[in-house]
Structure 1
Amino acid sequence: MYQFCPDEVDQDRAHHQAIKQGADDVDGKRIGNLGEIAFEQFCREYLPAEMWEWENEEAMRRCNPESFSGHDFDVFGYEVDVKTSRDVSAFLPETLVEKDSEDDIIVMVWHRDNEDSLILLGWEHVETLKSKVETEEQFSGNSPDKLEHLASRPMNDLRNLGPNTANMNQKPQNPFQPGDRVEKREDEDASVGVVVEVLPPETQVELYGQELDGEAVRVAFPSSLDEGPGDWRDISPALLSSYCDDQNVSLYTYKHENLKFAENPYTVGDYVIKSSHDDPNLAVVVEVDGYDVTVVYEGPKGDEVAPANLSEYCEDEDLSTYQYPEKELKFVDIDDY
């Protein structure tokens, strides 16, 4: 068995995708999404990348409705469906067969009440589950009242269906997460970009007609994000990919080795505070010049004034601005003010 602990990105995406899917039971769909993410992590760790595919990977990453495929994964040519439940009785052979008899394999995932931990209990061939149900009906009668049989194979046995491989350890090597501020390496005049999508290592990506050798990161630039209808800075980093997809914001793909964390991550329109103040006031970035950042207190927020017009707005309204080195500032959540 394996334990999977979803992070904030996983939680936000699983929930928002359930909403975008239009699920009647959002809570049930969310936990089902988390179960798929848990199994994807297992596949990435233990199975050759070219021999499995997650049908809903892009739908989950961009919080879009799924393609309504009859199964969640293709693994070694088998159709695999992931069943996630807090109620262990959902994994009884008869229950599983009643709900899903069309796929080849079912993976069973149990979750805690607060959804902070999921356990991959195991997997089983659907044909084996059917055989178990038929055998019970014909020969063994009812199961004992206090002891029910859960047919499942250990998760590691799934590897035996494919080639004999050692632990693949295909975890992403890039250090970036959605929301990170980055810039291109070895570019003295590089613009600050915002990481929107971190593509998994098994994803095949083409750049200029050539398949990218390595992991890819998709970046949006603040000037494009600012043209959207909402205040993108107030959106969870996990949902930036969904926002950009909905608003057709242009994304640029880079090999992760070609990016680095921005030395000065601030851009016009950012919400910041001066970190040395005991009770800091909210400030909005008006201008960035090298490592110097000009801010305005008591200035406009969100989409009240387009970021590109902030500097001119402050002059017209005779608002006082203040300049600080970037290291004296830090990002702040607008909802806290």
Structure 2
Amino acid sequence: MYQFSPDEIDQSRAHHQAVKQDAEDVDVKRIGNLGEIAFEQFCREYLPTEMWEWENEEAMRRCNPESYSGHDFEIFGYEVDVKTSRDVSAFHPKALIEKDADDDIIVMVWHRDREDSLILLGWERVETLKSKVETENQYSGDSPEKLEHLATRPMNDLLNLGPNTAHMNQTPENPFQPGDRVEKREDDDASVAVVVEVLPPETQVELYGQELDGEGVRVAFPSSLDEGPGDWRDIDPALLSSYCDDQDIKLYTYKHENLRFAENPYTVGDYVIKSSHDDPDTAVVVEVADGSGEVSVVYKGQLDRQIEPSNLGIHCKEESISTYSYSIDEIEFTELD
């Protein structure tokens, strides 16, 4: 068995996708999504990447409704469906067959009440489950009341369904996560960008007519994000991909090795506080000085209304509103109350 602990991005996406899917029971759909994410992680670490496919990968990453598919994964040519439940009785052969008898393989995932940990119990062929149900129906005696059979095979037995290949661990090497502020390496005048999507290692991406050799990272620039209808700074980083997809915000793809964490991550419009203050007031970045490691801010209480980031500097000058300069080491990001 294998244990999977979803992080905040996994949990946010699993929930938001269930909402966008208009699921009849959002709680059930959310935990089902987490089960798929858990199994995808297993596949990534233990199965050759070119021999499996997650049908709902893009829908989950961008929190979009899923395209209709009778199964969740295709592995070694087999159609695989993932069943997730807190109630282990849901994994009895009869219960599984009554819900889904059309796929080749069913994977069983159990979760804790708090949804902070999932256990991949095992898998079984649908034909074996059907045979088990038929045998039980023909059995003339009474089944033991305290022992119920779960027809499962160990997770690592999935490897035996495929060809004899070397162990392939496809855990991403990319160090970035959605929401990170990055810039292009070896570019002294690089603009700060926001990570929106971290693409799986096996995703084939073409740049300038050539296939990207490495893991892709999609970013958006703050100036484009500022043109959207909402305040993207208040959006959960896990949902930035969904927001950009909904609003058709242009994304740019880079090889992860060509990016680095931004030395000065601040951009105009960011909400910050002065770290040394005991009860700091929220300020808004007005200007970022090139190469100096300093930013100019205006305290939010000095503004009588919300001002577009691109107009902040002009507004402060026209209204004679004082701005203050700080080193980037003196401030930190904050959120609006």
TM-score (norm 1): 0.97
Query: 2:6, 2:117 within 8 Å by CA — same for their partners in 1?
Result: yes
Report how far residue 140 of structure 1 moved.
Answer: 5.1
Secondary structure of 1:334's partner?
coil
SS of 1:223 mapped into structure 2: helix
**Number of residue pairs matched by the alignment:** 334
Consecutive unaligned residues in structure 2, runs of 5 or more: none
Q: Any conservation in 2 of the 1:45–1:171 contact (CA below 8 Å)?
A: yes
Cα drift, residue 112 of structure 1: 0.3
The 4+ residue runs of structure 1 with deviation greater than 6 A are none
Letter of the 1:26 partner, please give it: V
CA displacement at 1:318 relative to structure 2: 2.2
- Judge conservation of contact 1:136–1:142 (CA < 8 Å) in 2: no
Distance (Å, rounded) in 1 between the aligned partners of 2:267 and 2:302? 15
What is the identity, as a one-letter code, of the residue corresponding to 2:137?
E
Percent identity for Structure 1 against Structure 2: 80
Determine the structure 1 residue equivalent to 2:321: 319
C-alpha distance in 1 between matches for 2:250 and 2:301: 29
Q: Alignment partner of 1:188: what SS? A: coil
More deviation in 317-326 or 5-14? 317-326
2:306 is equivalent to residue 332 of structure 1:
no
What RMSD over aligned residues (CA atoms) do the two structures have, in Å? 1.2
In structure 2, the residue matched to 1:24 is 24
- What amino acid sits opposite 2:332 in the alignment? K
1:300 Cα offset (Å): 7.5
What SS does structure 2 have at the residue aligned with 1:201?
coil
- Sort the Cα spacing of 1:71 and 1:300 in 2 relative to 1 into closer, same or farther, 3 A: farther
Deviations 1:51-103 (A, max 9, x none): 00000000000000000200000000000000000000000000000000000
Q: How far, CA to CA, are the matches of 2:322 and 2:306 in structure 1?
A: 18
Is 2:155 the partner of 1:169?
no
CA distance in 2, matches of 1:131, 1:170: 35
Q: Give me the TM-score of the superposition, normalised by structure 2.
A: 0.97
1:282-301 → structure 2 map (5 Å cutoff): 282-290=282-290, 291-299=293-301
Q: Is residue 184–residue 258 contact of structure 1 (8 Å, CA) maintained in 2? A: yes
Report the more deviating stretch, 131-140 or 37-46. Answer: 131-140
The separation in 1 between residues aligned to 2:201 and 2:252, in whole angstroms, is 17
Does the 8 Å contact 2:92/2:151 carry over to 1? yes
Q: What is residue 191 of structure 1 aligned with on the other side?
A: 191
Counterpart position of 2:90? 90
Distance 1:260 1:140, change over 3 A: farther
The structure-2 alpha-carbon separation of the partners of 1:316 and 1:123, relative to structure 1 and needing over 3 Å to count, comes to: same
1:36 aligns with 2:36: yes
Q: Which letter does structure 2 place at the counterpart of 1:326?
A: I
In the alignment, structure 1 segments of 5+ residues that lack a partner are none
Asked whether 1:55 is paired with 2:55, we answer: yes
Q: Per-residue deviation at 1:142?
A: 4.3
| Matched ranges for 1:204-219 at <5 A | 204-219=204-219
Counterparts of 1:1-337 in structure 2, within 5 Å, are 1-139=1-139, 141-290=141-290, 291-299=293-301, 304-335=306-337
- Structure 2 letter corresponding to 1:197: E
